[in-house]
A and B are shown apart, each in its own frame.
Chain A
């Protein structure tokens, strides 16, 4: 079973986000990038499938801060092929990324493509369905559970409120991963260092990007806080007293 996992890197929300002077984009000075959480799950799910049914896992990404480390970590987990696209991605969007991935995957012809169901910096829709469409493949997202057969997969699709739909897709297909069957495993540093000596990252240059399909952003800003809560002061006892009187006012006591 050939599995491909395209991943992308997004702003690390642990850091403070600020707007660039132009007012329509994020300030990249203090920005740090981290793997999109759902893409991390997609890699884990792919490795799990390889462990269950055997096969080959290819992880693809575009060059970004930390992309090499991530690819080597994926190799330490069991990924077989690592591909990194190089070029100028400063103006890229998900449509462009999907085109880049699709061009390569048309040649690789994987049986299954797993990618995160979304990334928090998506503004022109998630990558998964775009990629599926460019490759002419079916797509189901919000997947948390996959059973593989020779020519089809059965997936558990999550709806709100805990409802799950079991869907069957004909292979080859693209799946948007919400959660892997187990959280992404930890890889010890010594293992990653070991793998750096043996695994190779294939680099492929991308000349130009097709960024059509997105919408212009004229302004980016930090959300205004409409109203802030009435803050209660004091020690636990005093606040508890205040809360009891609030409960009384609301009629619950």
Chain B
């Protein structure tokens, strides 16, 4: 019986996405309890180089022009054949725009059990999933012989899934794909004209607590005083008060600044996904039970509309001397 843990590597535009490394780290923990290998499954076209820093025991690589960039139909067809043939203990997918297009389809097609939103595994091989907006955790044994799992980030650090040594790569032959029903026409790049918040060391983030567009000036003033840049959570961007280029979160940018000052942000999991790895998180919120206080290093329960002007003044004073 195959006890290997497969990890479906996610890549876009010739770059491996972070979730792949998170999954490799998770796979390592799971493999330790099952006694199998960590096998990275890489589909692409002339993409062997992408396997360079994957922390896996082996890489199964399928090379075909139709697999150059992700499309659901092509990837699902190839993976179906591979999983059926190899029958691993578990297959890990990202709980993402790539993984979620194919994981449950494969569950239906191959009649294999599936568990989604998995956050981490326990040492005794249980899955721990996070549902209901992160408010509820569900735990259970992973059924055999093969189970499909989709993973959310947060349980492991990406660095844990990276290696300095390239793993052994095996070319897996696969029948040429024909009659594909889903094709990629083009990518539309995000607006690059605005400042890149992922490169900023200090971010002043505003959430629903900012209340209206005018108050964003308070954040701007503070950012200017600190030499920082303003970013926002989804509700603020949805209202049109800040452009999408400043969105931090699951559907926006992932940032890891030195300081993340979260003003009036409640801390929904989708937002935490975008900034949870920041060095120092400082949270200001009027709700003492806001989940953001669980990831922040420092916090204060007060109105950002009170704090922002006061802080701006103090910072200016400190800098001015």
Residues of A within 8 A of B (CB): 10-11, 13, 17, 19, 26, 94-95, 98, 117-118, 120-126, 128-130, 132-134, 138-142, 154, 156-170, 173, 176, 178, 183, 212-223, 225-233, 235-237, 239-241, 243-244, 246-248, 250, 252-253
Contacts and interface: CB of A to CB of B under 8 A. Distances in A.
B282 interface: yes
A162 B188 CA distance: 9
B141 A133 contact: no
A243 B311 contact: yes
Contacts of B187: 163-166
B251 interface: yes
Contacts of B131: 120-123
B140 A122 contact: no
B101 interface: yes
B2 interface: no
B280 A213 contact: no
By secondary structure, the A interface counts as mixed
A225 B296 CA distance: 12
A240 B136 contact: no
Contact of B116 (A13, A126, A159, A222): A126
27 contacts: A13-B132, A13-B133, A17-B136, A117-B100, A123-B115, A130-B104, A130-B108, A133-B109, A160-B252, A162-B190, A165-B70, A169-B182, A170-B181, A215-B147, A216-B140, A222-B137, A226-B294, A228-B293, A228-B294, A228-B299, A229-B283, A229-B296, A229-B298, A230-B298, A233-B300, A244-B314, A246-B298
By secondary structure, the B interface counts as mixed
Given A123-B131, A232-B300, A240-B307, A216 B182 contact: no
Interface stretch (B81-89, B209-217, B253-261): B253-261
A164 B114 CA distance: 28
B33 interface: no
B184 A167 contact: yes
Given A129-B108, A220-B137, A226-B294, 6 more contacts: A94-B104, A160-B17, A162-B191, A162-B245, A215-B127, A235-B302
Contacts of B168: none
Contacts of B147: 215
Nearest to A238: B310
B103 interface: yes
Given A26-B136, A154-B185, A229-B296, A124 B104 contact: yes
